[in-house]
Amino acid sequence: MTDRDALIHDWNVVDGLPSRPQQKIEFDDETLRDGLQSPSVTDPPIEKKIEILHLMEKLGIHTADIGLPAAGPRARADVRRLAEEIARSKLKITANCAARTKPEDIDPIADVADAVGIPIEACTFLGSSPIRMYTEGWTIDQLLGLTETAVRHGVKRGLPVMMVTEDSTRAHPETLRRIYTTAIECGARRVCVADTTGHATPEGTAALIRFIRKVVADTGEDVKIDWHGHNDRGLGLINCMAAAAAGAHRIHGTALGVGERVGNAALDQVLVNFKLLGWIDNDLAALGHYCRAVSDATDVPIPVSYPVVGRDAFRTATGVHAAAVIKAAKKGDTWLTDTIYSGVPAGMFGMEQIIEIGPMSGASNVSYWLEKRGYPVTDELVQAIFGDAKSAARVLSDAEVHAICALRGARAGA
């Protein structure tokens, strides 16, 4: 058995960074609502949404934003179908819906919950930053009035309510304190800190979560804190890590980071990193299926170099790199094979290392490729493929290598 600790000195844990969260971490998948606000996505048909919902369940995601039913007839119909699927299939994943701080947005959520017979969390959102207040002509008293009306109405209709402050990362502390305190006093049992414009840095994220923890503690109520981040500065993932380390209970994101402008925090990457850090123990073998299903349903292509699920994530045709992977594989240790030239163990996420043949390959690439497919490994065949690869401008496709084998009379399994 390989002594893994002896083979890797992990600088990631030097000085205790990042610190392991003490609280249980949950996830809110916003793909089917906030993610669909991207101007480039296709809003999938309900059958695709149901497929994606089941894949969320497989990944151990705790709750899904299934829509904003007040947005129109189609949105309301899809919300009901998704809620019915949760009830019919007895899924563990729970449902939540977005709503403006208006009773007319909250009532459609309550109507679906009553009709289907499952709880649906109402996520009532309201802008909170001074720049938004100035632009809209809002006063703090107006915001507090809207907060009180919405939360009380949701609670009266029997809904669990989460109060969301948009643009929290550019809001005054006292504004956030007053909005959240009012919401909690009116019955909200979650508050959501939103980096709506992707403004936050990891340090700012942590400072804000620590501040909101103090606000919640001062109320004396058992209220959980959510983090909802966008990726405008490319900091979506690291901000999720900072929020969890600072005490956020639930992290929001979307598959492939789909969402308005440059998108939300990529939930798939959040899951991968939290798993590698040992912060969660979710089975993520279905991660590739989930991402491909979202890509197909929304018409958002997955970049070839995208982490973990991109086409090139675990492919190599480079001689030195491939040789190390091949040597590891010959030792019969999957972990060693997955880790020798990758910071992400492919097998943990339902993937595998792939050795290909191209102009930067060594002869060992060719021999390994042939062995894996049951071809005889002869010097003549190896050199024929190796020669064609060296004169090529790109990696050879499997079909091209099979054709070279056929031209030389080699057959797999012969």
3-state secondary structure of 348: helix
Phi, psi for 162 (deg, rounded to 5): -115, 130
pLDDT of residue 19 exceeding 80? no
Partner residues linked to 226 by β-bridges: 192, 250
- Categorize the per-residue pLDDT at 405 as very low, low, confident or very high, splitting at 50, 70 and 90: very high
Q: Which of 263, 252, 230, 258 is nearest to 43 (CA)?
A: 258
d(Cα 190, Cα 92) in Å, to the nearest integer? 19
* pLDDT the model gives residue 3: 79
| Burial of 376 per CB tally in 10 Å (0-12, 13-18, 19+) | middle
d(Cα 410, Cα 367) in Å, to the nearest integer? 13
Torsion angle (degrees, nearest 10) of CA 282, 286, 290, 291? 90
* pLDDT the model gives residue 255: 98
pLDDT of residue 1 exceeding 60? no
Q: Which of 240, 287, 308, 276 is nearest to 26 (CA)?
A: 240
Q: What is the mean pLDDT of the chain?
A: 95
- Categorize the per-residue pLDDT at 408 as very low, low, confident or very high, splitting at 50, 70 and 90: very high
* pLDDT the model gives residue 5: 81
Going along the chain from its start, the domains and CATH numbers come out as 23-298 (3.20.20.70), 315-407 (no CATH)
* pLDDT the model gives residue 67: 97
pLDDT of residue 8 exceeding 60? yes
pLDDT digits (tens, 9 = 90+) for 257-287: 999 999 999 999 999 999 999 999 999 999 9
Query: Do 298 and 258 form a contact (C-beta atoms < 8 A)?
Result: yes
pLDDT of residue 12 exceeding 90? no
- Percent of the chain surpassing pLDDT 90: 94
